[in-house]
């Protein structure tokens, strides 16, 4: 069975690539940033041309009714993190701009309307502790009690699944309660690094695992506690660029940025660690198949009993 997914707040396509790699098909995507859209289409059109042929790459999720979004099995969303991070002053649901602070409620409306079998959300780790935990409690309550999903969540680092970057993010995975899965969903076990920063930078690097890539901003000296983009390579200061950052994010070698270097680094800082998302996506697909196999077994058993009678 080919599982269908939608890619909300799609960025440059990290979720899409991860889900595509585990055999799922994207039937709808949405991204509002015009530069991210350029990068997304440039790369994703190669692997999912029907998404663009069928005009299913939406530019503003507020312009479409939840009922008009295609049926899907998995809802993926790295929803805007600015309101819940230090960069966004941790305003949470009090964020004034609807297109930022209230985007979770757009996700809620889509889930309520379409009832996907699974949901996979990603956000900054600060979400869990924002406003003394009240923001996350609201999200958790909506998913579990209003929408009736069993959810599991975990702070996952990119380095937990092979990439040489810290990048701690909260992953929230949920499944419909009515499907009655035979066991509890568990996140995949951690894996060793696939490669390290010396491999990324082509020389002896002073760090095995790199700093978390940021959206942008002015660089700091290498010895500054705020430094995130400079390393000692062969005893010389080296400032990373998009080519290096692309590897740290787990994007494929043929992934291209048809935008400026400034935009490329911004987009990479906003993206998801593809390898980490792929490992969890693989486990989600496997988990979805457990209930499908259970239903198939029950149907076949019922047919056998009827024949015996």
Instruction: Indicate which residues carry an active-site annotation.
Output: 81
Are 248 and 165 within 8 A, CB to CB? yes
**Phi–psi pair at 130, nearest 5 degrees:** -60, 140
Tokens of 254: 């043929």
Helix (H, G, I), strand (E, B) or coil at 118: strand
Q: How many CB atoms lie within 10 A of CB 100?
A: 16
Interatomic CA distance for residues 240 and 261, integer angstroms: 11
Of 8, 18, 24, nearest to 163 (Cα)? 18
Close Cβ partners of 197 (under 8 Å, ≥ 6 residues apart): 164, 205, 207, 208, 209, 210, 231
**Residues 190, 175, 296, 113, CA torsion sign:** negative
Angle at 8 between CA 256 and CA 125, to 5 degrees: 90
**Phi–psi pair at 221, nearest 5 degrees:** -55, 155
Are 174 and 140 within 8 A, CB to CB? no
Q: How many CB atoms lie within 10 A of CB 32?
A: 17
Q: How many CB atoms lie within 10 A of CB 178?
A: 8
Interatomic CA distance for residues 127 and 135, integer angstroms: 7
Of 194, 34, 69, 70, nearest to 12 (Cα)? 34
């Amino acid at each position: 069975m080919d599982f269908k997914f939608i890619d909300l707040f799609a960025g440059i396509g990290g979720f899409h690539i991860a889900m595509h790699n585990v055999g799922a098909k994207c039937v709808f995507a949405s991204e509002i940033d015009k530069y991210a859209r350029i990068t997304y289409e440039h790369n994703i059109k190669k692997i999912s041309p029907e998404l663009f042929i069928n005009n299913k790459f939406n530019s503003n999720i507020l312009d479409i009714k939840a009922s008009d979004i295609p049926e899907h099995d998995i809802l993926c969303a790295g929803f805007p993190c600015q309101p819940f991070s230090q960069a966004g002053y941790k305003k949470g649901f009090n964020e004034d701009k609807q297109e930022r602070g209230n985007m979770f409620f757009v996700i809620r409306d889509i889930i309520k309307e379409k009832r996907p079998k699974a949901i996979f959300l990603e956000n900054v780790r600060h979400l869990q502790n924002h406003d003394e935990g009240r923001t996350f409690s609201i999200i958790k309550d909506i998913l579990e009690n209003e929408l009736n999903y069993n959810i599991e969540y975990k702070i996952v680092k990119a380095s937990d699944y092979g990439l040489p970057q810290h990048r701690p993010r909260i992953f929230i995975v949920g499944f419909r309660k009515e499907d009655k899965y035979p066991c509890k969903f568990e996140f995949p076990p951690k894996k060793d690094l696939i490669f390290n920063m010396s491999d990324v930078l082509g020389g002896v690097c002073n760090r095995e695992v790199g700093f978390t890539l940021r959206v942008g901003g002015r660089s700091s000296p290498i010895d500054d506690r705020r430094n995130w983009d400079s390393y000692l390579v062969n005893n010389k200061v080296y400032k990373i660029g998009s080519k290096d950052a692309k590897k740290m994010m787990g994007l494929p070698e043929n992934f291209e940025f048809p935008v400026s270097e400034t935009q490329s680094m911004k987009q990479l800082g906003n993206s998801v660690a593809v390898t980490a998302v792929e490992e969890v996506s693989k486990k989600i697909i496997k988990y979805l198949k457990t209930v499908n196999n259970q239903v198939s077994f029950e149907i076949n058993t019922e047919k056998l009993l009827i024949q015996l009678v």
